[in-house]
Amino acid sequence: MNHKWHATQYPGVRYREHNKRKHRGQPDRYFVIRYKKDGELVGESVDWASHGMNAKGQQYPNGYLKFDAI
């Protein structure tokens, strides 16, 4: 599996692509958000693109996360 992380145009949001899983003809993307909490960098797994996730929607997935620009 490819574990290279790719940046998005949204601060704190990145993804990796799966080598075999496809979504709409492209490699499926797994999204993760990163933010600072109490001065420490925290990363949270979100979900796959095939489950309806996208980079724009990951900044505030539950409406409660706020994070600093990294």
Whether 65 is covered by a domain: the verdict is: no
Residue 1 has a pLDDT of 55
**Is residue 49, in this structure, part of any structural domain at all?**
yes
pLDDT tier at 6 (50, 70, 90 boundaries)?
very high
14-53 per-position pLDDT tens digit: 899 998 888 888 899 888 888 888 999 988 888 788 877 7
Please tell me the total count of domains within the chain: 1
Res. 60: pLDDT tops 70:
no
Task: Identify the band that residue 2 occupies on the pLDDT scale cut at 50, 70 and 90.
Answer: low
**What is the domain extent for residue 53?**
6-58
Is 40 inside a domain boundary? yes
- Against a cut of 0.75, is the pTM above it? no
Burial call 14-47: b when 16+ CB within 10 Å, e when fewer: bbbbbeeeeeeeebbbbbbbbbeeeeeeeeeebb
